Amino acid sequence: MKMNHALLILTGTLLLGGCSSTTVSYGDPSETETVTVDYGSSDLQAIADKMADSMLASPATREITAGGRPVLFMDSIRNKTAEHIDTEAITDTIRTKLLRAGTFRFVDMSKVATVKQQLEYQQSSGMVDPASMVRLGKQTGARYMVYGNLSSIVKDNGKVKDVYYQMTMNLMDLQNGELLWADQKEIRKQAKTSTFGW
């Protein structure tokens, strides 16, 4: 009897579990998402747009690009929040926006080890045709560096959770160490917990 009862419960659970379904759909990536107060795609887009637009419109950018497209190195954004945030996505999005504007050229320092390995292979393996071999000492050096920090302040009293994000970015002249441009983007989100759970 106990065996039949257990079998009946197991069968019912499997049938009910089989009745549930998940619907998947595409959404507009530029649409504001407010699922949680945590950092999300809307925040990434707002930060990247603000920083790229501000830098491109700055008097310093107009001055240093008057004679051509200077070379920049973009350091990874430092995550100073308590959240796990993919700051590489922020860095990539801002760099892409700046490149699309056609104002700057970039060197990618995140690939230096890979490039060095490939160049050493070409030079020392004896397997690469000397006519097509990339010569050492020909890489372009960056004149300017872009870097920044993402920080947050979180307040939570059990009923209201308030999250404040601040993104700060800077443009530095590597030749003399001068800061040519700086700006920040602030985002504040709030979540209120309902007493009745709805």
pLDDT for position 189: 84
**Phi, psi dihedral angles at 5 (to 5 degrees):** -65, -45
Residue of 8 and 142 predicted with greater confidence: 142
pLDDT for position 15: 61
DSSP assignment of 60-77 equals HHHHHTTTS--EEEEPPP
> Into which CATH architecture does domain 37-127+139-192 fall?
3-Layer(aba) Sandwich (3.40)
- DSSP code at position 169: E
Domain boundaries, the chain: 37-127+139-192
pLDDT digits (tens, 9 = 90+) for 109-126: 888 888 889 988 988 888
pTM, full prediction: 0.74
Q: What would the two tokens of residue 187 be?
A: 């985002």
Q: What would the two tokens of residue 111 be?
A: 């690939």
Q: Is the pLDDT of residue 70 over 70?
A: yes
Measured distance CA(110)–CA(107) in Å, rounded: 9
pLDDT for position 58: 96
Measured distance CA(168)–CA(148) in Å, rounded: 5
